[in-house]
């Protein structure tokens, strides 16, 4: 088995949700190993062109002027590596959880909502504003996705030094969120959010008003199971829109590191307009060594095999 497939088996053992299971199963089945084999073939082809011109220039069938062909292959591979890297964040969220941060003013009902979503008492609920001072995180399975829901300190100006730390941590949590649930009293005014993160504006304490305010996306009353389920369904839909689809190729930090390094090396090759084919071959060989760490190796015998399979020489 390729190393990436072994890692997939390990992820499969640790999977807690259906989405994690599917991602791990694809990796164990050779998802990245198969794709990296195609990348390997592109590099072998590029090296075959270069080494054939370098080492077999006295052969009548040796190719000449191969740089443009080699750069075309590098350009194709670079686009594929960049596409894999662009999708890497999705795999990390499947693995570690889609982060939902509950935020709002003090005493808006954030802790009560947290308990209702995860169906157990994980945070202290009182009528006193500022009860929650730190970030409280709970992971739960929602429609096959791992959701990490975070209760936070109420956002307000305060002179209490401990509460100030809690508010600062809330703002940091908002910056790292995949989704913000901003809770606001249905009797109050529309909240003003300046975050670029997707957000659901939830009107709390709906049992105290006649109708849902126009500024709200969802109405909430902690004792109303239907409203709780409606909110969970909205969260599930947003998570699915971000995380569903074909399993991504990159599923851990090791994959990302090697592919990023290879993409950086290829970008360097593409940036140089004039270079000797000997140096070009060495740069591409280094890229091949970087990618080989994913699941296999590219050695001299591989390159010679590629040369003799493509060109009629040495026979």
pLDDT band at 124 (very low <50, low <70, confident <90, very high): low
Q: Are residues 164 and 284 in the same domain?
A: no
Q: Is residue 286 in some structural domain?
A: yes
Q: What is the DSSP letter of 140?
A: E
Q: Are residues 205 and 233 in the same domain?
A: yes
Q: pLDDT value at position 85?
A: 95
For residue 128, pLDDT beyond 60: no
Which has more pLDDT, 5 or 159?
5
Q: Are residues 157 and 202 in the same domain?
A: yes
Q: Which domain holds residue 209?
A: 93-243
What is the number of domains present in the chain? 2
Other Cβ atoms closer than 10 A to 179: 20
The residue assigned the tokens 């997707």 is 198
Last residue of a domain, one of 209, 228, 243: 243
Q: Which of 106-110, 157-161, 254-258, 271-275 has the highest mean pLDDT?
A: 254-258
Last residue of a domain, one of 209, 243, 277: 243
SS3 of the chain: helix, strand, coil, percent, to 5: 55, 10, 35
Q: What burial class does residue 301 get, using C-beta atoms within 10 Å of its C-beta: 0-12 exposed, 13-18 middle, 19+ buried?
A: exposed
pLDDT band at 119 (very low <50, low <70, confident <90, very high): confident
Q: Are residues 38 and 135 in the same domain?
A: no
What does the pLDDT look like over 39-72, one tens digit per residue? 988 998 888 888 777 665 555 555 556 788 888 8
Which has more pLDDT, 250 or 306?
250
Share of the chain above pLDDT 70, in %: 85
Q: Which two tokens stand for residue 166?
A: 């809690």
Last residue of a domain, one of 211, 243, 275: 243
Q: Is residue 284 in some structural domain?
A: yes
- Helix (H) or strand (E) holding 271, with range, is helix 253-271
Q: Is residue 315 in some structural domain?
A: no
The residue assigned the tokens 């105290």 is 208
For residue 144, pLDDT beyond 90: yes
Q: pLDDT value at position 299?
A: 47
Q: Are residues 104 and 237 in the same domain?
A: yes
Q: Are residues 226 and 272 in the same domain?
A: no
What does the pLDDT look like over 226-242, one tens digit per residue? 888 999 999 999 999 99
Q: Mean pLDDT throughout 157-172? A: 81
Picking from 97-111, 120-134, 248-262, 293-307, which range would have the lowest pLDDT averaged per residue?
Answer: 293-307
Q: Which two tokens stand for residue 306?
A: 């590629």
Q: Mean pLDDT throughout 141-152? A: 92
């Amino acid at each position: 088995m390729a190393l990436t497939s072994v890692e997939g088996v390990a992820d499969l053992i640790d999977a807690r949700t259906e989405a994690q299971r599917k991602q791990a199963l694809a990796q164990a089945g050779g998802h990245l190993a198969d794709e990296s084999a195609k990348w390997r073939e592109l590099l072998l082809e590029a090296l075959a062109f270069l080494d054939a011109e370098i080492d077999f220039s006295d052969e009548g069938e040796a190719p000449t002027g191969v740089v443009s062909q080699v750069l075309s292959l590098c350009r194709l591979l670079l686009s594929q590596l960049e596409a894999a890297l662009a999708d890497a964040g999705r795999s990390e969220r499947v693995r570690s959880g889609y982060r939902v941060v509950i935020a709002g003013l003090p005493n808006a009902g954030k802790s009560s909502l947290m308990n209702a979503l995860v169906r157990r008492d994980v945070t202290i609920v009182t009528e006193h504003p500022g009860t929650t001072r730190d970030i409280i995180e709970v992971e739960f399975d929602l429609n096959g996705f791992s959701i990490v829901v975070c209760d936070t300190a109420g956002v307000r100006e305060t002179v209490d030094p401990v509460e100030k730390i809690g508010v600062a941590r809330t703002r940091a949590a908002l910056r790292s969120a995949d989704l913000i649930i901003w809770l606001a009293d249905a009797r109050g005014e529309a909240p003003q959010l300046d975050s670029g993160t997707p957000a659901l504006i939830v009107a709390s304490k709906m049992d105290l008003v006649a109708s849902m305010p126009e500024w709200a996306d969802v109405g909430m009353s902690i004792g109303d199971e239907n409203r709780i389920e409606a909110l969970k369904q909205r969260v599930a839909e947003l998570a699915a829109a971000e995380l569903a689809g074909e399993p991504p190729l990159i599923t851990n930090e090791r994959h990302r590191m090697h592919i990023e390094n290879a993409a950086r090396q290829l970008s360097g090759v593409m940036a140089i307009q004039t270079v000797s084919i000997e140096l070009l071959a060495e740069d591409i060989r280094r890229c091949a060594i970087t990618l080989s760490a994913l699941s296999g190796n590219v050695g001299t015998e591989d390159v010679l095999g590629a040369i003799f399979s493509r060109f009629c020489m040495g026979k």
